[in-house]
Chain A
Amino acid sequence: MITMATAVTDPAALAFVRQGPALIPAHGFPILRARALAGKPVLMMDMPRDRLNTVSDETLLVLYANGDPDAARLLTGRLAPRILGYATRLLSDRAEAEDITQEAMVRLWRMAPDWRTGEAQVSTWLYRVATNLVTDQRRARARRPATTLEDAPEVADGGKSAVAGLIEADRMMALETALAELPDRQRQAVVLRHIEGLTNPEIAVVMEIGVEAVESLTARGKRALTGILAGRRQELGYDGDVEGEA
C-alpha cells in the first residue's frame, strides 16, 4: 500500500513513493511504474539518462538505502566536491579536508536507511556534519600556519592568460589567507554564505544557530576580511590596469 506520509516529493524532479520497502515513481514513467508494480526492481540504470540530473539528492539517498548500486556514485559526484572545497577553506589543509570529506560521506551512508524524507536537504545535513567534524579537527590540533598554494582548492584556469591566471591565483591565495585569520564561526558563516552559496536559513540549520546570528557573523566576517585585505589591493591588482585581463 502506498503510504503518502513516506512519499519522496520533489516537484522539480522525479518523485517516488515508498511501497513497503520499495520505491515506485509517483507519476509519469509508465514503464518504470509498471515494472515496480509487477514486482521488478527499479534501478537508476532503468531511468532515462537525460533525466538522471533531475533526480533529487534525497531520492538518490533513498535509492542507495534500497540497494541501488549507482546512487552512491551520483551522490558522491554531486556532494563530495562541495564538501571537500568547504572543508579545505575551513582547515587550510588539503589532506585533512579529504579525511573530513570521507568521514562526512561515511556518516551519510550510515544514516541513509533512517533518512526522514522531507525534513531537511541532504546537502545542508552534510554541511552540518562537515562543520562539526572541522570544528572537532581544529580543536584537536594547534592551528597551522596559513595555507600554502598546494593546499588551496585546485582551480580550473578557464582559458585565462598566464598573467590573469596568476593574478587570480594570488587573489584566491589572499582570500584563503584572510579567511584563515577569522574566528572559526565567522569563517564558517562567510564561506557558507558567499562561497558555497547557502541561504541564511540554511546556514542557520548548518550552524545550529538563529538567522540573526548568521547575519551578524557574516557581517562581522566581511568587515574583518575587508580590513585584512585592504592593505593588499595594489599587490592584488585591484588598483592597476591588469584587472581586466582575461
Chain B
Amino acid sequence: MDHETDLYQMFAVASHQRVDMPDGLTARILADAAALQPKVQLRVPVAGPPRPGWFATLTDWLGGSGSLAGISAAALAGLYLGVVQPSPVQALTALVAGNTTIDSLDLLPSSDGLLAQE
C-alpha cells in the first residue's frame, strides 16, 4: 500500500466524520435567524389583476373604447337611415337606381315550366 493510498484512506475517514454541533452554537444561530428574519409576513398570495370580462375582451379586440363608440354610432346611423328614410336619402336612391320600381322578383323560379317542357 503506497503513501497516496494511505492519504486517501485518511480523507475517507475524515469525510465521514460527523461534526457535532454544540447546543450553544445552534441556539445562537437560530437566535440570529429569528432576529434577522423579515418581519413582514408575506406568505399570503397577492391576488393578481381581475380577469377581464367578455365586454372588455371584445373592446380590446375591436381596438379600444374609441373604436367601439365609432362602430356603435355607425350602426345607429344605419338603422336611422334604413327605418326613417329621410327625403335626402330617398332622392339619392332615386338618382342612383332610377324611378323603376320592381313590384315582384322571382328569385326561385317554379319548376312547373321545366316539367311542362318534358
Task: Give A contacts to B, CB under 8 Å.
Answer: 1, 19-24, 36-37, 39-43, 64-69, 72-73, 76, 80-82, 84-85, 88-89, 98, 101-102, 105-106, 109-110, 113, 153-156, 168, 171-172, 174-175, 194-197, 222, 225-226, 229-230, 233, 236, 238
Listed by A's residue number, 8 A-B pairs whose Cβ atoms lie within 8 Å are A76-B33, A98-B22, A153-B19, A156-B20, A171-B10, A175-B11, A225-B7, A226-B4
Query: B66 to nearest A CB, angstroms?
Result: 28
Give the size category of B's interface with A: 35 or more
Cβ–Cβ contact A156 & B18, under 8 A: yes
* Residue from B7, B29, B36, B49 within 8 A of A80 (CB atoms): B29
Known: A1-B48, A73-B30, A76-B29. A197 touches B15 (CB 8 A): yes
- Decide if B92 is an interface residue (CB 8 Å cutoff): no
CA distance in complex: A69, B37 (Å): 9
Q: Mark B85-111, 1 if CB is under 8 A from A, else 0.
A: 000000000000000000000000000
Cβ–Cβ contact A238 & B6, under 8 A: yes
Cβ–Cβ contact A42 & B43, under 8 A: yes
Closest partner residue, chain B, to A158 (CB atom): B16
- Decide if B117 is an interface residue (CB 8 Å cutoff): no
Residues of the B chain whose Cβ atoms lie less than 8 Å from the Cβ of A110: 36
Known: A102-B25, A195-B14. A222 touches B45 (CB 8 A): no
* Residue from B30, B38, B46 within 8 A of A22 (CB atoms): B46
CA distance in complex: A10, B95 (Å): 77
Query: B82 to nearest A CB, angstroms?
Result: 47
Residues of the B chain whose Cβ atoms lie less than 8 Å from the Cβ of A67: 37-38, 40-43
Residues of the B chain whose Cβ atoms lie less than 8 Å from the Cβ of A85: 17, 19
Known: A102-B28, A194-B11. A66 touches B21 (CB 8 A): no
CA distance in complex: A233, B5 (Å): 11
- Decide if B116 is an interface residue (CB 8 Å cutoff): no
Cβ–Cβ contact A84 & B25, under 8 A: yes
Query: A97 to nearest B CB, angstroms?
Result: 9
CA distance in complex: A84, B41 (Å): 31
CA distance in complex: A159, B48 (Å): 58
Q: 12 more A-B contacts (CB under 8 A) besides A22-B45, A84-B19?
A: A1-B48, A21-B42, A22-B43, A39-B44, A65-B37, A66-B42, A67-B40, A69-B34, A72-B33, A84-B25, A153-B17, A229-B6
Cβ–Cβ contact B14 & A175, under 8 A: yes
CA distance in complex: A155, B14 (Å): 9
Cβ–Cβ contact B20 & A154, under 8 A: yes
Closest 7 CB pairs of A and B: A20-B46, A72-B33, A21-B42, A41-B43, A85-B19, A194-B11, A109-B36
Known: A222-B4, A226-B7. A195 touches B21 (CB 8 A): no
Residues of the B chain whose Cβ atoms lie less than 8 Å from the Cβ of A84: 19, 21, 25
Query: A79 to nearest B CB, angstroms?
Result: 10
Known: A67-B40, A105-B29. A19 touches B13 (CB 8 A): no
Residues of the A chain whose Cβ atoms lie less than 8 Å from the Cβ of B29: 76, 80, 101-102, 105
Cβ–Cβ contact B43 & A76, under 8 A: no
Known: A76-B26, A195-B14. A233 touches B6 (CB 8 A): yes
CA distance in complex: A69, B40 (Å): 13
Residues of the B chain whose Cβ atoms lie less than 8 Å from the Cβ of A82: 19
- Decide if B1 is an interface residue (CB 8 Å cutoff): yes
